Structure 1
Amino acid sequence: MLLQDEIDEKAKEIYTDGYPMSIGELISLYKDNELDIHPEFQRFFRWTPLQKTKLIESILLGIPIPPIFVSQREDGVWDVVDGLQRLSTIFEFVGILKDENNNIFPPSRLIKTKYLPSLEGKMWESSDAENSLTSSQRLEFKREKIGVQIVKKESDPNIKYELFQRLNTLGTKLSDQELRNCLLIMINKDFYYWLYDLGAYEPFLNCIGLSEKSISEQYNLELALRFIIFKNVDIRDMKGFIFLAEFITEKMTEFAESSTFDKEKEKQIFKDTFDFLDKTLSDDAFKRYNFERNRFEGKFLLSSFEAIGIGVGSNIDEWNKRTIDENLKEEVKNRAKSLWSDRNYLDYIGSGSNFNTRIPVIVPLGKKIFKP
């Protein structure tokens, strides 16, 4: 197919509209529940007080701000695809922003800026007139306009997810998994909470031993997702993907949209696996083995997780038939140690290894080594 044919075909799947709207109109839409900014996203988007104040300052000064992107749902409600933090900042300042439990956030206070130092301590409206915007300033603020780009409901349903990823990948500081979490909330909120519970499972956290920074970036959820994906998919499905992150996102979306994916069964396998690993290897589960010092050491290693975690998970029914005693602990430890003398494993764990060559070797190897 020629490039122009591909362009023409895809363009037919996208229906858009756009026009400027006043901040007052957007406030009314939000109050009437006609604009969904997904309050669950708040944990992933983190603006500082200075960033929030600069946005309000820009509006007060009449400086144009970037447009927001929304997707029209079947019920007519607009899903915010890009611009959540800008709208949240405005709604928080005005004193109407709700959290995921429908509670109102306390109205925000501004801080001083280079151009408007008198913003220090100012609020939208307060009994303390000196620290509030004036009635005239509030009216001018609500009359300022923001461009709204609308993906209409007639568009391909996957367009808004593609748009969300593209818009929120450019210039954002969100991790891959934080972006996936936002996508999940848009696609299937129950699946997100299911995955969140897996990532917070204590024996699992004991085994992976991540830093607070990694946890804050939701890396524990990414590891839980990797476990589910690589235990269930055909490794050959990765062919054609240039980046592993894209493969993980696509498979996550497939599972979240599937009517046959058995969450309860997968949850039980996950818990059984990490209960077993926590009792046998604990925080040594995914570390490098040093034969000279005769011990596991260092930090969490993804390659060990891919081999040991998925290897045990794929055979957990057999392992659960065994009684966990010192002999079994020693057996599991020896199997984990054997990875570090296996040339097939060592050849594919270097930083230069491509996931398309690494995973097809490491995952089957782990399943073989940890078959009781």
Structure 2
Amino acid sequence: MSLIDEVNEKRKEIRTDGYAMSISEWASLYESKEIDIHPEFQRFYRWGDSQKTNLIESILLGIPIPPVFVSQRKDGIWDVVDGLQRLSTIYQFMGILEDENQNTIDPLTLTGTKYLPSLEGKKWNSPEDEDNSFSQELRLIIKRSKINVSIILKESDETAKYDLFQRLNTGGSDLSPQEVRNCILVMINRDFYTWLQRLASYEPFQECISLSDRPLKESYDLELALRFLIFTLIEEGELEQLSDVGIFITEKMRTIAVDDAFDTAMWENLFMQTFDLLQNELNEESFKRYNVSKQKFTGGFLLSQFEVVAYGLGYNLANRNKLKKIPDTAAGIWSDLRYTEWSGSGITATRRLPRILPFGREVFNDGN
């Protein structure tokens, strides 16, 4: 098939529409629950009050706002694919935004800006503070301002909205790679996302990975739990086909999240068994560098150590293999060239995983 044929074929799979809508119409859609902005996403987005104020300022000044992308579900409801933070800010300022438990979030109070310093302390409409409330004229300017919508129609390929979400929220996004995946998971299978959250919150797992606040805030613990599900029992031949590991993880996640045959009970048991064992044997030293000269584990969390120790133990537990002594084996890998040559700086995950994952399965297996 030629390139133009491929283009024409794929263009048929994505049906779109678009037009301009007033903010009053956007608010009406939200209040009548005809649009789903996925309130669970709020925890992943990190706009501060100044960024939110800048959006309101732009609307007041007539500065064009980027279009909102939505996907039309079979029931006619719109799923917001891109533009959640913009809509959430508008809804919060208008005092109608709800959290995931359907509780109304405190309305936004604006801050002063370079062009509109008098925005400081202003609110949409507060009977208790009329002096700081927007006038009717200002509220109408907001309500009548328009934001374009681009709609992926329900006739489109079912995966189109997830592809679009990933493209629009990767790269220049404020979201971490796992936060993007979390949003996709919520759209695909909310129950699977909740289950993954529960795994990542498991106390022995949290103690073993011993992450600092920033990676935890960016959902790196969920990414590590997801990596465990993907790589622990993966066929070694599949690793030879790796290109971009981040994309590979996302695609695998999307596959297993809709796979009715995926055995969550088995995986939960294996996950807990692995990290119960590690908590008892190494605890917060599980995934740290072993300093051979000082004869102790030092430093912070290392992904390559996680890949060898967590996946290696999980694989052998799943196959009911007899295990070598865990502390001695975890320390011993730092004297093994098969590990040290493939875990240093400059070695990408694409090159590293096909070599150290089989190594981890081997070193923890006491087959003698």
Q: TM-score, normalised by structure 1?
A: 0.95
Task: Specify the alignment match of 2:343 in structure 1.
Answer: 349
Bigger mean CA offset, 292-301 vs 92-101: 292-301
Task: Specify the alignment match of 2:7 in structure 1.
Answer: 7
The one-character-per-residue Cα deviations of 1:192-248 (angstroms, maximum 9, x if unpaired) are: 111111111111111111110010011111111111100132233345442100000
Report how far residue 332 of structure 1 moved: 1.6
Bigger mean CA offset, 31-40 vs 5-14: 5-14
Q: Which amino acid aligns with 1:273?
A: T
- The answer to whether 1:38 aligns with 2:32 is no
Secondary structure at 1:79's aligned position in 2?
strand
1:277–1:67 Cα change, 3 Å: same
The one-character-per-residue Cα deviations of 1:12-62 (angstroms, maximum 9, x if unpaired) are: 111000000000001000001101000000000110111000101111122
Cα pair 2:13 2:156 within 8 Å, conserved: yes
Q: What is the correspondence of 1:13-28 to structure 2 with a 5 Å cutoff?
A: 13-28=13-28
The sequence identity of aligned pairs, in percent, is 54
1:239–1:277 Cα change, 3 Å: same
Report how far residue 319 of structure 1 moved: 7.6
- The answer to whether 1:228 aligns with 2:229 is yes
- The answer to whether 1:365 aligns with 2:366 is no
Task: Specify the alignment match of 1:90 in structure 2.
Answer: 90
- The answer to whether 1:285 aligns with 2:286 is yes
Report how far residue 160 of structure 1 moved: 0.4
1:357–1:320 Cα change, 3 Å: closer
Task: Specify the alignment match of 1:134 in structure 2.
Answer: 135
- The answer to whether 1:110 aligns with 2:104 is no
Cα pair 1:124 1:132 within 8 Å, conserved: yes
Report how far residue 369 of structure 1 moved: 1.2
Q: Which amino acid aligns with 1:306?
A: E
Report how far residue 251 of structure 1 moved: 0.6
Quote the Cα distance in structure 2 between the aligned partners of 1:108 and 1:216. 23
Secondary structure at 1:156's aligned position in 2?
coil
Quote the Cα distance in structure 1 between the aligned partners of 2:263 and 2:277. 21
Quote the Cα distance in structure 1 between the aligned partners of 2:319 and 2:14. 50
Task: Specify the alignment match of 1:73 in structure 2.
Answer: 73
Report how far residue 310 of structure 1 moved: 0.8
Secondary structure at 1:286's aligned position in 2?
coil
Task: Specify the alignment match of 1:251 in structure 2.
Answer: 252
Bigger mean CA offset, 97-106 vs 131-140: 131-140
Cα pair 2:316 2:322 within 8 Å, conserved: no
Report how far residue 136 of structure 1 moved: 1.9
Secondary structure at 2:59's aligned position in 1?
helix
Quote the Cα distance in structure 1 between the aligned partners of 2:146 and 2:132. 25
Secondary structure at 2:269's aligned position in 1?
helix
Secondary structure at 1:315's aligned position in 2?
helix
- The answer to whether 1:152 aligns with 2:182 is no
1:6–1:319 Cα change, 3 Å: closer
1:285–1:254 Cα change, 3 Å: same
Quote the Cα distance in structure 1 between the aligned partners of 2:163 and 2:239. 19
Q: What is the correspondence of 1:58-69 to structure 2 with a 5 Å cutoff?
A: 58-69=58-69
Report how far residue 140 of structure 1 moved: 2.1
Cα pair 2:240 2:354 within 8 Å, conserved: no
Secondary structure at 1:340's aligned position in 2?
helix
Q: Which amino acid aligns with 1:343?
A: L
Cα pair 1:68 1:82 within 8 Å, conserved: yes
Cα pair 1:238 1:247 within 8 Å, conserved: no
Q: Which amino acid aligns with 2:341?
A: D
Report how far residue 187 of structure 1 moved: 0.4
Cα pair 1:273 1:313 within 8 Å, conserved: yes
Task: Specify the alignment match of 2:173 in structure 1.
Answer: 172
Quote the Cα distance in structure 2 between the aligned partners of 1:72 and 1:202. 39
Report how far residue 256 of structure 1 moved: 0.3
Q: Which amino acid aligns with 2:3?
A: L
Quote the Cα distance in structure 1 between the aligned partners of 2:23 and 2:235. 49
Quote the Cα distance in structure 1 between the aligned partners of 2:211 and 2:64. 42
Structure 1 residue runs without a partner (length 5+): 323-327
The one-character-per-residue Cα deviations of 1:60-95 (angstroms, maximum 9, x if unpaired) are: 122111110000000000000000000000000000
Quote the Cα distance in structure 1 between the aligned partners of 2:239 and 2:75. 36
Task: Specify the alignment match of 1:181 in structure 2.
Answer: 182
Q: TM-score, normalised by structure 2?
A: 0.96
Q: Which amino acid aligns with 2:35?
A: L
Cα pair 2:290 2:297 within 8 Å, conserved: yes
RMSD of the TM alignment (CA)? 1.6
Q: Which amino acid aligns with 2:175?
A: L
The one-character-per-residue Cα deviations of 1:316-371 (angstroms, maximum 9, x if unpaired) are: 2688999xxxxx8xx22111122111111111112222333311211111111112
Quote the Cα distance in structure 1 between the aligned partners of 2:32 and 2:284. 50
| Total equivalences in the alignment | 365
Quote the Cα distance in structure 1 between the aligned partners of 2:351 and 2:302. 17
Cα pair 2:239 2:353 within 8 Å, conserved: no
Q: Which amino acid aligns with 1:169?
A: T
Q: Which amino acid aligns with 2:71?
A: S
Q: Which amino acid aligns with 2:279?
A: D
Report how far residue 314 of structure 1 moved: 1.4
